[in-house]
Amino acid sequence: MILFRRTQHSVINESAAQQADWRHDVGALFVLALSLSALALTSANPPIATSLILGICGGTTAVQTVIDVTTRRLPLLISVTASGLMLLVAIFLTRSGTQLLAMLAGATVMMLIAQILVTVSRGSLGRGDVYFCLPLGLALGIGSTTSTTVVISMYAWALSALVGGLTAGAGLLLRRFSKQSTIPYGPFLVVGTIATLAIRGTP
């Protein structure tokens, strides 16, 4: 947790948008709590590999959400490093080819949809969003089969788009946003992923 906090503060301070303070820590802890709640709902008694993988993903989503809201960035290094750690845990602790394939299927589907949206959205989404889908997709494959993971990855994106669209619409109606406003999409991806994990429940 200390490492996550230091990384978050370092990126925010380097961005020159503002100085990191206690509010960023509170925001990160809130997102982490939501992620861990999804972990609890995913399995009543999760194996240590599942706990570690979703724990890494939870810490990553917490840090990246705060960074994205503050700086409108999703650093690639954080997403890639977390994904590497998640895969290492899966390889050495689960020792299951089926589990690894399901995780890779989730990452592939999430990133493929993101890349398509980057192409058609004309700048609304960026490369950071694509790479952020990597750890999220890996988490969606935990305790699942390849075919099921493909489906729930689509659900995760649908929920993300729904929440993002509703938030943008409400912001426009309340005049909190304008059509030219830049809205961070990372938090919506986190909400969609957490909600999907929670709804799926115990495999």
pLDDT in tens, 37-91: 766 666 656 778 888 888 888 888 888 888 888 888 888 989 999 999 999 999 9
Span between the terminal Cα atoms of the chain, in Å: 28
The pTM for the full model equals 0.86
Amino acid 30: pLDDT: 72
SS3 15: helix
Amino acid 115: pLDDT: 92
Amino acid 194: pLDDT: 87
Q: What is the mean pLDDT of the chain?
A: 82
Alpha-carbon gap, residue 107 to 101, rounded angstroms: 10
Stronger pLDDT, 1 or 88, i.e. the higher one: 88
Continuous H helices in 90-203: 97-121, 127-140, 146-173, 186-200
Amino acid 59: pLDDT: 86
Alpha-carbon gap, residue 146 to 194, rounded angstroms: 19
Alpha-carbon gap, residue 24 to 48, rounded angstroms: 29
pLDDT > 70? residue 16:
no
